[in-house]
Structure 1
């Protein structure tokens, strides 16, 4: 798990996004977490700590690569498209990267969400309260029909919480959705993108996650083509 401190452009409020270390020098996060129209990252990433502001390893961001098809949600399309980006760190880290899943799992597959998102159910940054300690939530892969019409698909995973009034919220964006893979090892299946249906609050419905298996070829090709100097 990684945390990416940033400032919200519209309000000036301090915020945070999540990410996942997938290579000693690369982190995957959401495209909207590095969208200059929305936020200004402070230029660093904290890797491998259960605390938002301490511990782990801090590296500077040397390069940002957003998926070429990324598009922010709009009135006509109410969800983010191709919502994935890669951050190259200025130097490799010693922490162990998480494996990219080859498949997201069938609907009903148990998964887990990690993040430093607000513990107050709101989309208003002025009311958000970001915890210092990493939060976890056990959820499951949802069927496409459990998200809003058109929200989920091959590249966007519907996710459902068995706990009432619990789901990822602002500050969790970019963070991981993981599941147990071969050898009972955790592997990355999703990147937190946004709500899985039209609703007024985070906890009122399903979540939507960019499918890591769907973008694995782009991720690997991007890392290969950007090896070498910073």
Structure 2
């Protein structure tokens, strides 16, 4: 049975056609260190550094207020994500779509703000950016979102260098709804713990380690939220992201999109964009 996406931005359409991907061809080597060095060189000197959370500063809250509808109206929507390079966030593919709901690459059709470095909306400081470009994964409901400026005060999550293993512990973070029926993003970061229970070609099944609640597991608007490993709560490695099911907060495995199978594709996209 088809499951509903975790975000309200659009519907999950399964595998995204390669033809929709911008710049999916080969490119030279690219490293986060190169982008960070370039950003530091070009970034204007700020009067003061922003106040950032000491916990999970890489987590991202994505919000839009002007998503166009077929009847000419607009609506709001939200997703979650994580910083993986100074100017790039990983989130769910269905967070960016056309007016008829098909996943979109390129400049987004609506204004998507990204807030990083906070645990609560009311926290001071943080970093805010706008999404200016989107790349849809050719194999899963996952997208790369390019920011309008580099975030150099936060250490991005690292990309995996090996496949996940059954039994591997994972942490979850997201800004999703606290209800499956009254859908709006939370005013604080939700967190939970899971383990890898099943591994599939492009996804994995994550089992909760404690009974599910709306505070510790994905709900609507958690789409794109990271499943990651971290020893210090500040840095870590991104293993997978939220895309769909099961319903919130019912029992069952969480279906999440693997990062290890798209690492080369991610490097190519960022490398092409930096030219």
**In the TM superposition, what whole-angstrom CA distance separates every residue of 1:78-137 from its partner, at most 9, and x where no partner exists?**
xxxx111111111111221110111243111111000011122x1x4xx12532111110
Question: What are the equivalent positions in structure 2 for 1:1-230 lying under 5 Å apart?
Answer: 1-6=59-64, 14-36=76-98, 37-38=100-101, 41-52=110-121, 55-69=125-139, 82-94=140-152, 95-120=154-179, 122=180, 124=181, 127-144=182-199, 153-166=200-213, 167-180=217-230, 186-195=236-245, 201-228=248-275
Aligned length: 199
Residue 72 of structure 1 corresponds to which residue in structure 2? none
CA contact (8 A) 1:4 1:41 kept: no
State the shift of 1:177 in Å: 0.5
**Runs of 5+ consecutive residues of structure 1 not aligned to the other structure:** 70-81, 145-152
CA contact (8 A) 1:176 1:191 kept: yes
Structure 2 CA distance for partners of 1:161 and 1:2, relative to 1, 3 Å: same
Q: Distance in 2 between matches of 1:43 and 1:142?
A: 33
Q: Distance in 2 between matches of 1:114 and 1:49?
A: 12
**SS of the residue aligned with 1:157?**
strand
Higher RCO (CA < 8 A, seq sep 6+):
2
**In the TM superposition, what whole-angstrom CA distance separates every residue of 1:55-94 from its partner, at most 9, and x where no partner exists?**
311111121111244xxxxxxxxxxxx1111111111112
Aligned-pair Cα RMSD in Å: 2.5
Q: Distance in 1 between matches of 2:118 and 2:191?
A: 14
State the shift of 1:155 in Å: 1.0
CA contact (8 A) 1:43 1:61 kept: yes
Structure with more of its chain in strand, by fraction: 1
- The TM-score normalised by the length of structure 1 is 0.77
**SS of the residue aligned with 1:172?**
coil
**SS of the residue aligned with 2:250?**
helix
CA contact (8 A) 2:159 2:259 kept: yes
Q: Distance in 1 between matches of 2:150 and 2:243?
A: 26
CA contact (8 A) 2:184 2:221 kept: no
Structure 2 CA distance for partners of 1:138 and 1:201, relative to 1, 3 Å: closer
- The TM-score normalised by the length of structure 2 is 0.65
Q: Distance in 1 between matches of 2:229 and 2:248?
A: 26
Residue 79 of structure 1 corresponds to which residue in structure 2? none
Q: Distance in 2 between matches of 1:175 and 1:116?
A: 8
Structure 2 CA distance for partners of 1:56 and 1:185, relative to 1, 3 Å: closer
CA contact (8 A) 1:3 1:19 kept: yes
